[in-house]
Amino acid sequence: MKHLFPLLLLLAGACSRVEAPAPVGPVPDARQLAWQRLETYAFVHYGLNTFNDMEWGYGNTPASTFDPAALDCDQWVRTLKAAGMKGVMLTAKHHDGFCLWPSAYTDYSVKSSPWRDGKGDLVRELSDACRRHGLRFGIYLSPWDRHHAEYGREAYVEYFHNQMRELLTNYGPLFEYWFDGANGGDGWYGGADERRSIDARSYYRYEEARETIRSLQPEAVIFGGTCADIRWIGNEEGWAGQTNWSFVKGAGDQNVNDFTHGERDGDHWLPGEVDVSIRPGWFYHPREDTQLKSLSQLVDIYYQSVGRNANLLLNFPVDRSGRIAAADSARIVAWRQTLDAEFAHELLAGADVEADNVRGGARRFAPGRTTDGNWESYWATDDGVTEGVLTFRFEAPQHVNRLLLQEYIPLGQRVARFAVEWSGDDREWHPVETGEELTTIGYKRIIRFAGVTCRALRVRFEEARGPLCICNVEAYDAPVLLEEPRIVRDGSGMVTLRAGDRGAEIRYTTDGTQPDGSSPRYEAPFLLPDKGEVRALVRDPQSGRMSEVAARRFDIPCGSFRVRELEPGEQAKMFDGDVTTAAYLPRGLRSCTIDMGCERSLTGFAYTPDAGRWGSGVVTHYRLLLDGRKVAEGEFSNIVNNPVEQLVEFAPQRGRVLRFEACALASGDAPSIAEFSVRTE
């Protein structure tokens, strides 16, 4: 009888039509659903900043500076398509107000530049290239405009809406429309050169903007503003929360309490988008040519965004010539090839699937729906059943290290906690080893775990907001990733090389040449007491396969410098090459005095704030004195959103004692210094 029961249920289910589970709100609309399925698409930051080596132009740079010699949108789109990107978003206008299209409402645009003799239209060229290659196109239009004389007053809002209409009308269908939330206050503003503050919630008239977008571009999802369809994920580092609900309390994205995780009791569908740049900055800076994110960092970003129920908007800072730099294209194509290799052979398609509950016993909701390759069909449980077990059995032992899960989100996001287990004999079960909290799933969740050879895998759904609706489960055996090594130098000049994989060996050079399999093998930390460059790679001794090359250029070590205001233990954190340890100046102090021990000829300095989760004291405006003379002063643009090393260069200056002054802080009342170093002649 025990065995007959499921059969009878199935028969009963086949005879009567079993209703689909009722939605558990909130649910996505068709536009949000179509967007979610794009998963990965590209951002391009391009404009006057590219030519001025800036992140946030002030709004006073002449339009004539914009002069790419070999701009080629086909090259961008071909590269991005090869990287599996489904669309491209362009900064049609960034905070500096310069327009990449010949707007009828201003001369501060490509039409006043030498590029294509003032007849160019970059928005047109890119949207056309996207159409030719079958990619979607999207627009970023900065609400903040540091150039416009009327910014802060009514006339600017008219201008902003007029420009929006131009972009929505003239360039074909858009998949996404981005309103950036940044507003630093100060700007050139037609020569006024002052600080202007606005109330972003009311000033830009976002409600009206939404109506315009809806009527002219019904497919476009809106990012930012007060009526968003998707939400920022809360950082520019490339990760979503391990718990990531696609909804929040209240409409719009300006009153979200938790961007990174969403809100379980939310009533408004607002899925997350992870925006991050392939280099430290959003715009191109020659000094970042060697600071591309590594292959393994980019692979991590994929798992921490798409693998955590968010979409990935990956930025490419197109270079001054007007092309995606060769290293960036090679890296991103390698990234796609790595992901393709990781997801090459799906293992559950032929496996036997069983569930402990099937909605109404109906075939339509059977567990096999999770492996039929059809996203529209799903396994569901009965009303009131919010826990369940899905078991997959292999014919022969199988090595597995990835599991991909998808909920059928048209009916809402439900799962709040689950476990993944494996068994070698179908009797004893063990949890897989993963660093991840197994909580939410949503549109897609991908779990990486230490490989196991198993006869069976099972997913125990332990908590959900309603009956389970799982439309897809996949398993993979991803090949070992040869991560390039990490290169770190401490204050005394000792260099440590670290590989992600303990089974791999490291080969390196210190003379600026490319290492290969015959370069010296790294055994222990070594001394690099002066300026120099270290390059290293990881090699799999079995197959001889090698990783990409990691390279770092160092100036003199600063561990012998003395900071008058700090205890030795605290000052060491500024010079130890480790950005995860930060010195804080004593409360009330806004500057520190650094004695270099002897006179030196300096050409620059670099500052890194405490970018840790709980870090504060980020210096946004600085002044540097050398033996009492001012040698540099300015703003670290966008340091709050992107708290990476900030390099400031100047004409050579001789001296011994430096004074680093924090003229303004973004948060906290004590300046933080995770790293400080000098550039010498």
Q: Which residues contact ligand FUL by CB under 6 A?
A: 55, 180, 182, 275, 282, 638, 641
Minimum distance from CB of 153 to ligand FUL (Å)? 22
Choice between 26 and 181, CB closer to ligand FUL: 181
Instruction: Assign 3-state DSSP to the chain and report helix, strand, coil percentages, each to 5.
Output: 20, 30, 45
Nearer to ligand FUL, 275 or 436 (CB): 275
Q: Return the number of the residue (180 or 436) whose C-beta is nearest ligand FUL.
A: 180
Q: How far is the CB of 142 from ligand FUL (least distance, A)?
A: 7
If we measure between CA atoms, which residue out of 577, 530, 579 comes closest to residue 555? 530
Please choose, from the candidates 479, 401, 473, 410, the residue with its C-alpha nearest in 3D space to the C-alpha of residue 444: 473
Question: Which lies closer to ligand FUL via its Cβ, residue 188 or residue 282?
Answer: 282
Among residues 398, 388, 384, the alpha carbon closest in space to that of 366 is found at 388
**Residue (182 or 416) nearer to ligand FUL, CB:** 182
CB of 80 to ligand FUL, least distance (A): 17
Is the distance from CB of 636 to CB of 607 less than 8 angstroms?
Answer: yes
CB of 679 to ligand FUL, least distance (A): 25
**DSSP code string of 240-285:** --SS--SEESSSSSTT-S-TTT--TT--EE--EEEEEESSSSSS--
Output 40 or 638, the one with its CB closest to ligand FUL: 638
Least distance to ligand FUL, CB of residue 607, Å: 19
- CA–CA separation, 390 vs 404, rounded Å? 13
**Closest by Cα among 36, 47, 145, 35 to 95:** 145
In angstroms, rounded to a whole number, what is the distance separating the alpha carbons of residues 555 and 460? 53
Which DSSP category does 64 fall into? G
Instruction: Show Cβ contacts of residue 641 under 8 Å, excluding neighbours closer than 6 positions.
Output: 182, 236
Picking from 115, 131, 129, 25, the residue whose alpha carbon sits closest to that of residue 411 is 25
If DSSP codes are grouped into helix, strand and coil, which group holds residue 390?
strand
Least CB distance to ligand FUL at residue 261 (A)? 20
C-alpha triplet 628, 56, 63: angle, nearest 5°: 110
Closest distance to ligand FUL from the beta carbon of 236 (Å): 6
Nearer to ligand FUL, 28 or 138 (CB): 138
Nearer to ligand FUL, 223 or 676 (CB): 223
What 3-state class would DSSP assign to 297?
helix
Q: What is the smallest separation between the CB atom of 608 and ligand FUL, expressed in angstroms?
A: 18
Tokens 């270099």 label which residue?
A: 596
Nearer to ligand FUL, 276 or 495 (CB): 276
Looking at the Cβ atoms of 182 and 334, the one nearer to ligand FUL is 182
How near is the Cβ of 275 to ligand FUL at its closest, in Å? 5
Q: CA torsion sign, 582 to 586 to 590 to 596?
A: negative
User: Cis bond leading into 218, ω under 30°?
Assistant: no
CB of residue 265 vs ligand FUL: minimum separation in angstroms?
28
Output the residue with the shortest Cβ distance to ligand FUL.
Answer: 182
